Amino acid sequence: MFQLIMCTCPDISNAKLIAKHLIQEKLAACVNIIPNVISVYRWQDNIECDEEIQLIIKTQTDKFNDVASEIKRLHRYDTPEIIAMNIQQGDDSYLNWITESLK
């Protein structure tokens, strides 16, 4: 089975570092880096509003723990966003490409 893992980053350099590392280690087939995401959230009882970079990581479900571990190791936040959504359907050719990319 396949997943999209989402993670926000504080800046483009941290986003690129994580994305390149996940690809290099074959933990992800592709990582989209989406700049200029505005996040509004509560942190330590304050409402925050920050510009962040969104990562969308395409991988297999059995890679989740390794991906999460590497994000935590490389990320600058104390509690980075690491959430996964299972891909229920997808083009067979694309899903096969993900599988081949992670070998």
Share of the chain above pLDDT 70, in %: 100
Task: Give residue 90's pLDDT.
Answer: 96
In angstroms, rounded to a whole number, what is the distance separating the alpha carbons of residues 2 and 64? 10
pLDDT for 35 = 97
What whole-number distance in Å separates Cα of residue 98 and Cα of residue 103? Answer: 9
Write down the H helix ranges in 6-102: 12-24, 64-74, 92-101
Tens of pLDDT, residues 25-46: 999 999 999 999 999 999 899 9
Whole-structure pTM over 0.85, yes or no? yes
**Looking at the DSSP assignment, which residues form a beta bridge with residue 86?**
3
Predicted pLDDT at 20: 98
